[in-house]
Structure 1
C-alpha cells in the first residue's frame, strides 16, 4: 500500500498543487495496478500530524510520500532531512504561529528521509522534470509533517517515507509574475516517478547532489 498526502490551500491561496498532484498521482498509480491512497492534510500545526497518523493507522502503508507547496522554488525538491523545530513566519490556517518550539518534545534533533532521494533525482531529470535534493524543508507545517512522519515510522519497521516539495503551478500566478512554476501534469508525474523509483530501489545512488550554501 502506498500513501500520498498533500495540503489544503494556505496563505490566502485558493488551491494547493501538492494536494492536486497527490490526488491525481494516486489515481494514476492505481490505474497502473499499484494500491494507492491519497489524503489531504490541514495546514495546521498538530492537526496535520494527527491526520497523517490516522491515515497510517487506517491504511498501513509500506511507502509514504508527503507533499507540500514551496512557492518560489523552480523545481521538485526531494527533501533530505526534517528538523525538530516549528518556527512559523506566517500563521497556519488556524492562526497558530509557534516560534522555536519542538515538533516532538524530547525527540531527536532531526530525521533523514528513507526514500532513495538520489535515485529519484536521477529519474526525474531523465524524464525532463526539474528537480533537486533539498537540504531544508523549512520550519513551517511541511517540515512539521515530515518530522512527524519520520517520528511515527520509527515504530513501523519496513515502512519507508519522506517528503517532496512542489513549486507553484502556473494557474496560481498573477499576470506578469516571474515566479517559477511547473504544469500540474509534471507535478503529478513527478510524484508517480518518486513512488516507482522508491519501490524499485533498495540502495540509493551515490551521486553528488549537495549544496554549498
Structure 2
C-alpha cells in the first residue's frame, strides 16, 4: 500500500504542533510491505493546499490529512463542507469569513476512509477515538474539502479523509500505535472487520454473565 500522510500546521502557531510531531514519529517507522510518505502543510490559506495538490496525482492507495484540535479524543471526520469561516487571521493576515471554498463544488464530500472501523480499532488499541460529523469551517476542513473535490473531479477512487488529533495529548508511543492501526485499517489486501460487530464476551463480562463455552 502507498499511503500519504499530510500534517496541517495549526492556524495559531504553537511550539509543538501535534500533527507535525505525529509525522516526525511516523516518518521514522518502518511498515513491512507498505510505503508511507509524510508531508507538512503550512497554515497559510493561499498555500496550505498547494503541496498536497502537487502530490495527489501520484499513485496513492490512501491519503490522510492530520490536524490539531481542541478535543479529548482522536476524531475521524466524516464530511468536508464547502464553506470557510474563521475568526483569526493567518500569518499573511487573511481571515476568510463565510466564504465558499469551490464556487461550483458540491455542498459537501463524504470521507472515503473506513471511519467507523478506524474509530473502533483505535479504541481497541487503547487510543480514545470517535467518528465526527463536523470538521468545522477552518483550515483543516478547507484542505479536506479541496482534497476531496480534486479527487472527485479527477475521478480518483482511493481512501481519503481527515483525522483530528488532540493537541495536548501527544506521546510518541501513542503516535506509533496510531500509525500501526491506520496502516492496518487502510491495507487494501486486508479483510475488513465488521465495525458494528458486538463483542459479546465484553458485554457479558460487564453484566456479570459468564460467557458460554463454544
Q: Same fold (TM over 0.5)?
A: yes
Match of 2:55 in 1: 55
Q: Is the 8 A contact 1:76 1:190 kept in 2?
A: no
Give 1 or 2 for the bigger CA radius of gyration. Answer: 2
Return the offset for 1:14.
1.7
Match of 2:164 in 1: 165
Which of these residues, 175, 181, 184, is aligned with residue 196 of structure 1? 184
Compared CA separation, residues 20 and 131, structure 1 to 2 (3 A): same
Match of 1:35 in 2: 35
Return the offset for 1:126.
0.6
Match of 2:195 in 1: 205
Return the offset for 1:60.
2.7
Question: Which aligned pairs between 1:3-152 and structure 2 lie closer than 5 A?
Answer: 3-28=4-29, 30-57=30-57, 59-71=58-70, 73-152=71-150
* Whole-angstrom distance in 2 between the partners of 1:95 and 1:85: 19
> Structure 1-normalised TM-score?
0.83
Return the offset for 1:50.
1.6
Match of 2:205 in 1: none
Q: Secondary structure at the match of 1:47?
A: coil
Give the count of matched residue pairs.
194
How far does the alpha carbon of each residue in 1:116-159 deviate from its partner, in whole angstroms, 9 at most, with x for none?
A: 00111111111100001011111110000111111111124232
Q: Is the 8 A contact 2:77 2:132 kept in 1?
A: yes
> Structure 2-normalised TM-score?
0.82
* Whole-angstrom distance in 1 between the partners of 2:140 and 2:67: 6
Task: In structure 1, list runs of 5 or more residues that go unmatched.
Answer: 170-180, 209-213
* Whole-angstrom distance in 2 between the partners of 1:74 and 1:162: 20
* Whole-angstrom distance in 2 between the partners of 1:204 and 1:81: 21
User: RMSD over aligned Cα, in angstroms?
Assistant: 2.1
Q: Secondary structure at the match of 2:19?
A: helix
Q: Secondary structure at the match of 1:137?
A: coil
How far does the alpha carbon of each residue in 1:40-72 deviate from its partner, in whole angstroms, 9 at most, with x for none?
A: 001122311122101213x4311001000002x
Return the offset for 1:203.
8.0
